Amino acid sequence: MSTTADTSQKPVLNRLRRARGQLNAVIDAIENGEKCRDVVIQLAAVSSALDRAGFQIISTAMQKCIGEEQDESDPITVAELEKLFMTLA
């Protein structure tokens, strides 16, 4: 992986790691019989973190596709990017 890829992926990886920690907290809460309200609030935080990571991945891909030459062996179209983006909506 190139340095550019590492730089653009770091925020996404940070979000995903945070989501993993939140998911672990949800699992622990369920195992420990914590209140349903607390579990749902934590689960919503996990969902939000995953959505944000997904949007960030798509945004980065869109910037890359617009700003750089596409991979000729597997080009991505604007329609495909829109479809990917909408899968997160």
Average pLDDT rounded to a whole number, residues 59-70? 66
The single-letter DSSP state of residue 73 is T
Q: Which CATH architecture has domain 3-87?
A: Up-down Bundle (1.20)
Q: Is the pLDDT of residue 70 over 70?
A: no
What predicted TM-score, i.e. pTM, was given to this entire model? 0.64
- Decide if 23 contacts 47 (C-beta within 8 A): no
pLDDT of residue 61: 73
pLDDT value at residue 1: 45
Using one digit for the tens of pLDDT, what is the confidence trace for 23-64? 999 999 999 999 999 999 999 999 988 888 888 887 777 767
Q: Note the pLDDT of residue 54.
A: 84
